[in-house]
Amino acid sequence: MRHVCRAQVVGWPPIRSYRKNSLQQKKNEGECAGIYVKVSMDGAPYLRKIDLKLYNGYPELLKALENMFKFTVGVYSEREGYKGSEYEPTYEDKDGDWMLVGDVPWEMFMSSCKRLRIMKGSEARGLTAN
Amino acid sequence: MDSNASGFLLSPSTFHSVYNQAKQDDGVIDLGLSLRTFQPEAYHPSGHSLEGYGDDLIEWPETNLQLKNSNRRFQGLVEEDVDEEAEGIQSKERWAYVKVNMDGVMVGRKICILDHCGYSSLACQLEDMFVPRLGLRLFQARSEFSLLYKDGEENWRTVGDVPWTEFVESVKRLRIARN
């Protein structure tokens, strides 16, 4: 009977050194990992993804969304939400609830936002089947 | 408590908040829950700064507001607050954001309970946030809506059933329910 050596073959599959280096780099940069969330917009054909860490606050984020989806978001106020636009930026939090973007401090938002949805005002504000 | 009364109720001239305007209906705010007040208590929107009020501002919730506005503080609190965030409140000690949902409305809002010093100012904010969307007065006698809250023991209760300070300690989220 032929004895087949089952010793582990080291270094297989072959991996180029630059990939090895980048994998190590990613481990080192774990703390700086981005917060990627999906962004959808009512009526848009496909979703996008953004890194929340790229923005310093709500104005920057909203500006980026406006550019991405070619719409205007309106002016935010605590009292009236987003006024002057038929669209409202909303987000799904870790509990699965949909909340209006902008009510909580930015860092709090970043830690609780799971995904974004730019909702058409009629659905966000009006009465929907519950 | 009486000694603090004069400092507690800020005079309208020192307060820029829209919530201090005299109500046309002689100052009565009826939640429809047997809760009435004849004077709108000071409402301080979380976006406004505290500059200019100096020592005249009441002791509470000033401290909490300053902590709330410090983002750097919050970053240090993120990890330990993960469980409570699931209930809609970030650390009770420094932040008190609660979710507010209204029956039939898909998108909820978040408000900071520490912005308020009483039920009437809370009612004012909720009316402003939710009523325009419906075009009718929310809190009035025989209203078709009730304001409920979820307490620390996961029970849904009627807002106004306990003193304000006790409410602030126990409220986890709010709901405007159709009767």
Q: What is the pLDDT of residues B13-52, one digit of tens each?
A: 444 444 444 444 444 455 554 443 434 444 545 544 444 4
Q: Please report the ipTM that was assigned to this predicted complex.
A: 0.73
For B138-151, the pLDDT digits (tens) are 455 567 788 899 99
CATH of domain A36-127: 3.10.20.90
Test B74 with A107 for CB contact under 8 angstroms.
Answer: yes
* Residue scoring higher pLDDT (A115 or A33): A115
CA B114 to each of CA B76, B93, B148: distance values in angstroms, whole numbers, following the listed order: 20, 10, 18
Among A residues 76-105, those touching chain B with beta carbons less than 8 Å apart? 78-81, 88, 90, 94-95, 97-100, 103-105
Query: Residue A49: beta bridge partners?
Result: A38
Query: Which residues does A100 contact at the CB level (< 8 Å), separation at least 6?
Result: A81, A82, A88, A89, A90, A124, B107, B108, B109, B110
Domains in chain A: boundaries: 36-127
Which of A80, A98, A103 lies nearest to residue B106, judging by beta carbons? A98
The answer, for A118 touching chain B at a CB cutoff of 8 Å, is no
Q: What is the mean pLDDT of residues B108-130?
A: 91
Nearest to A45 by CA among A19, A81, A69, A71: A69
CA separation (Å) from B53 to A22, B46, B48, B59, B69? 54, 15, 12, 12, 16
| A-B contacts (CB, under 8 Å) | 80
Q: How far apart are CA B169 and CA B113, in angstroms?
A: 10
Q: How far is B120 from B141, CA to CA, in rounded Å?
A: 15
pTM of the model: 0.63
Integer Rg of chain B from CA: 16
Q: How far apart are CA B68 and CA B112, in angstroms?
A: 9
Q: Mark yes or no for CB contact B128/A97 under 8 Å.
A: no
Q: How far is CA A69 from CA A106, A126, B132, in A?
A: 22, 23, 28
Contact A78 B46 (CB under 8 A): yes
Strand partners, B177: B146
Which of these, B138, B119, B118, lies nearest to B128 by C-alpha position?
B138
* Contact between B109 and A100 using a beta-carbon 8 Å cutoff: yes
**B158 bridge partner residues:** B148
Q: Give the residue from A84, A73, A118, A79 showing the smallest Cα distance to A98.
A: A118
**What confidence score (pLDDT) does residue A19 get?**
65
10 Å CB burial of residue B126 (0-12, 13-18, 19+) is: buried
pLDDT in tens, A105-119: 999 999 999 999 999
Give the 3-state secondary structure of residue A69: helix
Write the single-letter amino acid at B83: D
